[in-house]
Chains A and B, each alone.
Chain A
């Protein structure tokens, strides 16, 4: 294992993947919060023609110029998208899809143009489609690190306005913030994140790296700072482990593996995060169910009957469920077993009903009286 970690290519892969994870996690958090998750998808597809342009202009596969080209076309596509939706009736989703597909089409055309002139083989430009980690050299890492540093310092400098705008853009505008200019800067920074990831994750899947770490962190964090830091951590974890797996497994493209790890992190977070997770929520509901006693349910039936002025009133099970916010059938069945309730029906388009038996009516009335006395004592004390 140590020999493996000493491997030069592997070091490059892990360093690069960590960079990608951090930058896309940080900027993706803002994209997710601002409901602009799919902007990353458009930016990454629209970066493809830029990569080709970078190659055509310089004639060599120099990472710096490729990424500069990618950044250029991605930002141009984003600006065109905003212009198109502001000046016409077209909605944001259409604007995103238009620039995504046309940008990618242009990229494919340029890619084949280069290929058919015998340049792409050594350029290896089509590895940008799905990313090829192993192709990363130490020289490639420098521009990636540089772009990451630029984007991260941008986030630090713009922290307060970004926070305000993610939470309440209208309020930010009222406060006198230059909202549009900051929005454009944020878009440019997300484009930076996308561009950094192109080499390893590829244009097709980079969108998942923007979304998944932020979506995962959202489930755990209670504050924006916590969310951004966590997202950076999740992103780095996904990048490094995905990079490792794809290098070790023969013939596995890096992008898909990194994306699957990131998605798995997001899904696990959705399931188990303490406050927002689905499993804890389910567990809390279960606990509430076991803490809601059959006596309380009987009281609900009793009160509903009393409200309708008839102790034989048939209470629909769905109403008791809605009142307690849970499934109450087990308790209702227990009460029926004890002879306090009786199962019945009402209208044909309604669910099962229950009504008090004479014994149940007496029992519930007794309980209600005791409860009221207890309450009165508490008030006196």
Chain B
């Protein structure tokens, strides 16, 4: 047993920002994610696309250990999530919290530091300064002391992003950050993300708008319960992959006994 415990500390694929192997997540009777193999190198801005119910949010939650894995493992910079918590920022869907909560923008951003503060320590001057700087990064410093219910949808989304940024994450996971925000906010969010990428951070974004995928991201994951295709944008963005991802039911195992033949005439 002791050698197994030692084993978890030896890095596994440390040159990758995100390494997922054989990951299966199951809710009740049917797998939500099946046999996912996915590698994302550091310093890319990756989009995850797929139809409703494809398991996009589940994928992020499985990376963060928020849903139990049935099988497989996830490594962030070579290590399990638990030891990498401080290097990972997470921006959940905006609708996942109650925006009437009595708190201010800067306070929400400070919450991003609670993990580093631990159970006992209280946030002080230093934490507030860091939160203000994170708000500055998303252009929200003027509204720092606003109550969050008084912010517009786009402003709330930027506060959420600042809450993840305040941790200075090397890997940032965002769940549909562009959902329900206006065009200006969408542009400023993608500007922020591009800037973070140029600083060398890795960003994974669950995205729903196929129109903008090619413009926004340099790495793409097609997901529909299984990984249909993943890689650099130019290599994987094709009509065929789009069709295979959005084209209805995906078989978990190819029980025909033959690999799906490439359709002639493609590309």
**Segment with Cβ contacts to B, from A50-58, A129-137, A348-356:** A348-356
Report the nearest B residue to A303, measured CB to CB. Answer: B253
**Segment with Cβ contacts to A, from B65-73, B87-95, B112-120, B197-205:** B65-73
CA distance A33 to B31 in the complex (A): 29
CA distance A362 to B252 in the complex (A): 23
Report the nearest A residue to B23, measured CB to CB. Answer: A319
Interface residues of B in 90-118 (CB under 8 A from A): 100
**A318 interface hit (Cβ, 8 Å):** yes
Query: Are B30 and A325 touching (Cβ within 8 A)?
Result: yes
Report the nearest A residue to B5, measured CB to CB. Answer: A348
Query: Are B26 and A350 touching (Cβ within 8 A)?
Result: no
Chain A residues in 8 Å Cβ range of B7: 347-348
Chain A residues in 8 Å Cβ range of B256: 372, 375
Q: What 0/1 pattern do residues 287 to 321 of A give for CB contact below 8 A with B?
A: 00000000000001001100100000000111101
Query: Are A319 and B257 touching (Cβ within 8 A)?
Result: no
Most buried by A among B29, B70, B73: B70
Count B interface residues, CB 8 Å: 30
Query: Are B70 and A349 touching (Cβ within 8 A)?
Result: no
* B57–chain A nearest beta-carbon distance, Å: 18
CA distance A348 to B5 in the complex (A): 7
Interface residues of A in 348-381 (CB under 8 A from B): 348-351, 368-369, 371-372, 375
Count A interface residues, CB 8 Å: 25
* B212–chain A nearest beta-carbon distance, Å: 30
Chain A residues in 8 Å Cβ range of B35: 304, 307, 319
Chain B residues in 8 Å Cβ range of A349: 8, 73, 80
Q: Known contacts A348-B7, A368-B257, A372-B257; decide if A322 and B31 are in contact (CB<8 Å).
A: yes
CA distance A50 to B257 in the complex (A): 74
Query: Are A300 and B253 touching (Cβ within 8 A)?
Result: yes
CA distance A379 to B124 in the complex (A): 73
Chain B residues in 8 Å Cβ range of A167: none
Chain B residues in 8 Å Cβ range of A350: 71-73
CB-defined A-B contacts under 8 Å, sample of 16: A307-B253, A316-B24, A318-B70, A319-B71, A322-B34, A323-B31, A323-B252, A323-B253, A325-B30, A347-B21, A348-B4, A348-B8, A350-B73, A368-B257, A372-B256, A372-B257
Interface residues, chain A, with chain B CB atoms under 8 Å away? 89, 300, 303-304, 307, 316-319, 321-323, 325, 345-351, 368-369, 371-372, 375
